[in-house]
Amino acid sequence: MKLFLYCILFFVLLSYQETNAQVYFKTEYITSSSYRGEKEDNLHAKGNLKVIQGGFRVPLSLKMDENKRPTVWAIGCSGAHATMDNKKLPKELCPSKMLNLQFGLIHSRPLNAKWSMLATVGVGLYMDNDNLSKASWNNVLGQGGVIFIRHLRPNLDLGAGVALSNTFGFPMILPAFYLTWNLEGRYDVKVSFVDAVRVSAGMHLNKYLKLSLIAEMNGILALTEKDGKDMYFTQQYVIVGLQPEITIAKSLSLAATAGITPVRSAFYSKRSLKELFSDDDESDPYFKIGFYCSLGLTWKF
């Protein structure tokens, strides 16, 4: 789970890779569930999670080649505000509010008929409260990456490259991976590892309504300082559920999801390589299974 957190961070802006402009808004809710700490003698604490997020992408320039692959420069911006109604849970174990803001520049271009390059550079603000007046450089994270994508089939792209981030307080390069696979028609299957891990299998009931089973892994992060040490806090959660998507107009769609979160980890950890690659994930504090629902609106133009 710790390693997956950094995969999210490195590519949080890659969801803006499509060529069209887009604005989205989404709200999520995970019901209250019991908290399990590092020791078996639990605190009898509970907590829920409410997330409101949104963002936009705007292409600055766009040019298609003879293979209908784009050369595009675009900017993307996103933000997420999380509120946790924690009961009998000390703030030093889990904050009650979190704020994430990101801004980035994205560039994609074909290299030849089989290869493309995708690059991003950006900056983000990750806080364990929502008071911007308390923001400091310790909450700022620079991130970027370059991925070379092989177009194996019209519906299958696989890529690898490097990502640069100061997650550990100093610039560091780590490997990066990219995968998209789609089967489209009345029945479709999609697998994506870009800004999150997502798998869906859906059926188009008509031209306005699509019904899908989804599994997704996502998270929200805060960079902070505790007892004079650089730390991060994260909530990472797995979503499994049913998602109806309604096409309201050609460029406007509404998606609702209902299901469960079988895993929702929530813990502080040191910003160090030793902690990243430690093998004690099973002892990380977490909230037990809870019910999940969300509602999202997307406008492409």
* C-alpha 76 chain-centroid distance: 14
Q: Would the pLDDT of 240 be above 90?
A: yes
pLDDT band at 253 (very low <50, low <70, confident <90, very high): very high
Between 200 and 11, the higher pLDDT residue: 200
pLDDT in the model for residue 195: 59
14 or 31: which carries more pLDDT confidence? 31
Residue 83 CA: distances (Å) to CA of 61, 128, 261, 277, 281: 37, 10, 17, 29, 24
At 218 the pLDDT is: 86
Q: pTM for the complete prediction?
A: 0.88
Higher local confidence (pLDDT), 192 or 220 = 220
Which helix (H) or strand (E) element contains residue 57?
A: strand 46-64
Q: What is the pairing mode between strands 264-270 and 22-36?
A: unpaired
Query: What is the mean predicted confidence (pLDDT) over 39-59?
Result: 83
Residue 280 in this model has a pLDDT that exceeds 70: no
Per-residue pLDDT, 122: 87
The predicted structure's pLDDT at residue 171? 76
pLDDT, tens digit (0-9, with 9 covering 90-100), for 108-149: 899 998 999 988 888 889 999 999 999 988 899 888 888 899
Residue 101 has pLDDT above 90, yes or no: yes
Strand partners, 26: 53, 296
What Å distances lie between residue 46 and 54, 81, 233, 264, CA to CA?
A: 27, 20, 17, 12
* Phi and psi torsions of 137, nearest 5°: -65, -20
Contact 167, 180 (CB under 8 A): no
The structural domain count of the chain equals: 1
Kindly tell me if the per-residue pLDDT of 276 is higher than 70: no
DSSP string, 175-240: EEEEEEEEE-SSEEEEEEESSSEEEEEEEESSSSEEEEEEEEEEEEEEEEEETTEEEEEEEEEEEE
Q: Is the pLDDT of residue 19 over 80?
A: no
DSSP per-residue codes, 268-295: EEESSHHHHT-S-GGGS-EE--EEEEEE
Please tell me the least confidently modeled range out of 15-19, 194-198, 265-269: 15-19
Phi/psi for 2 (5° steps) reads -65, -45
Query: What are 161's strand-pairing partners?
Result: 147, 176
Task: Assess whether pLDDT exceeds 90 at residue 203.
Answer: yes
pLDDT at 169 over 70: no
Q: What per-residue confidence (pLDDT) applies to 282? A: 55
Mean pLDDT of the chain: 84
Give the domain extent around 219.
Answer: 2-300
Handedness of CA 168, 166, 136, 124 (dihedral sign): negative
Q: Which range (13-22, 71-80, 248-257, 288-297) has the least confidence?
A: 13-22
Query: In percent, how much of the chain has pLDDT > 90?
Result: 38
